[in-house]
Amino acid sequence: MIAVAVCSLKGGVGKTTVTLGLTSAALTAGLRVLVLDLDPQGDATAGLDAAGEIPSTLAKVVDDPRRRHLQACTVPSRWTDEGEGGEPASVIDVAVGGEQIAQHDRTDLSSRRLLSLRTVLAKVAKEDRYDLVVIDCPPSLGGLTRMGLAAADRVVVVTEPGVFAIAAADRALRAVHDVRSTLKVPVQPLGILVNRVRGHLAEHSYRVEELRSLFGPLVMVGEIPERTAVQRAQGAFAPVHRLKDPGGRQVASIFDALLQRALRSRS
Ligand SMILES: Nc1ncnc2c1ncn2[C@@H]1O[C@H](COP(=O)(O)OP(=O)(O)O)[C@@H](O)[C@H]1O
Ligand SMILES: [Mg+2]
């Protein structure tokens, strides 16, 4: 099992999009996935079309990282229901943060709480139930994002090709380093993923080059273009791999490459 956190230090840059895209790639590859939705807004939970009543939330896991508390806030995604595309049978579950998780988005959390998700995932790993855990972080560098980073093996830093991208990516990478050293966990950056690139814009190409010149191979090849397919998939609460038009296929192939990069990093 490998755990990948998706973070950025601001909202609207595409964390949930990358979480859903990576999960969609994993579904297509027949992997078993658990998504931890750490954003109190619950966009990943909604995008995954989570089924059924949710009796509890991840807030309880943070208080007391027992396996059964994680079980109580985990529900199946309906993405696995309608595999008319002939996808292999797979497991996609989502552990719901809900509004209650917001109470833990503080800067004064104990190490025990900061490590709570890592603690519970270590128990899950022993069961061989999931191949991949994807952690959708909220937009700030508060307690929740630090908890998500501490639980992860690898981190995808999402950024837009704008003037503040360098500062934002730099701060996110430093946050990863900081969590790694203060909590003594093995988390590492997987890379910087640039999202919403409009290829014909000189400004965007310039920003991508600028990021490459500063961060080198950490900037992933295959930026995600701005495509309506992303919004259409999310609007239909469906995996982007189910869209068969060129835009959908283009975006899907980038998430396939991201998944491969994550899986390769494990060995
Ligand atoms: N590559 C893209 N092309 C088109 N729309 C996108 C793309 N990436 C994100 N969006 C849209 O932008 C909005 C914000 O993205 P989201 O993933 O929710 O950001 P975050 O989770 O970082 O707040 C969503 O409506 C999403 O559909
Ligand atoms: Mg989000």
**Pocket perturbation via mutation, ligand 1, pick of 13, 17, 35, 144 by most ligand atoms within 8 A of CB:** 17
Q: What average pLDDT score do residues 149-161 get?
A: 97
Q: Is pLDDT of 85 > 80?
A: no
User: What is the mean pLDDT of the segment spanning 116-123?
Assistant: 98
Where is average pLDDT lowest: 77-86, 143-152, 241-250? 77-86
Tell me how many domains the chain contains: 1
Q: Which domain holds residue 89?
A: 2-264
Q: What is the mean pLDDT of the chain?
A: 94
- Distance (angstroms) between ligand 2 centre and the Cα of 12 equals 7
266 CA to centre of own chain: 16
Span 4-22, average pLDDT: 95
Question: Residue 84: its pLDDT value, please?
Answer: 58
pLDDT greater at residue 23 or residue 267: 23
Ligand nearest to the CA of 44: 2
pLDDT of residue 264: 96
Name the residue of 230, 240, 254 whose CB sits within 8 Å of the most ligand 1 atoms, as the mutation to test its pocket: 230
* Integer Cα distance of 240 and 238 in angstroms: 6
**pLDDT at res. 87:** 58
| Pairing between β-strand 92-96 and β-strand 74-76 as defined by DSSP bridges | antiparallel
15-52 residues labelled b (16+ CB within 10 A) or e (exposed): bbbbbbbbbbbbbbbebbbbbbbbbbbbbbbebbbbee
Q: Residues 202-223: what's their mean pLDDT?
A: 93
Contacts of 186 (CB under 8 A, 6+ apart): 153, 180
**Residues near 97 by beta carbon (within 8 Å), at least 6 away in sequence:** 36, 37, 38, 39, 40, 42, 45, 57, 58, 59, 144
Nearest atom in ligand 1 to 231's CA: 27
Residue 8 above 90 pLDDT?
A: yes
104, pLDDT greater than 90? yes
Which of 51-55, 101-105, 225-229, 256-260 shows the lowest mean pLDDT across its residues? 51-55
Q: Which tens digit of pLDDT belongs to each residue from 16-64?
A: 999 999 999 999 999 999 999 999 999 999 999 998 788 899 999 999 9
Q: pLDDT: is 167 or 37 the higher one?
A: 37
Query: Residue 52 has what pLDDT?
Result: 77
The per-residue pLDDT for 216 is 95
In this prediction, residue 68 carries a pLDDT of: 97
Q: What is the pLDDT of residue 9?
A: 84
Contact partners, residue 267, CB within 8 Å, separation at least 6? none
Domain with residue 151: its CATH number is 3.40.50.300
Confidence of residue 82 (pLDDT cuts 50, 70, 90): low
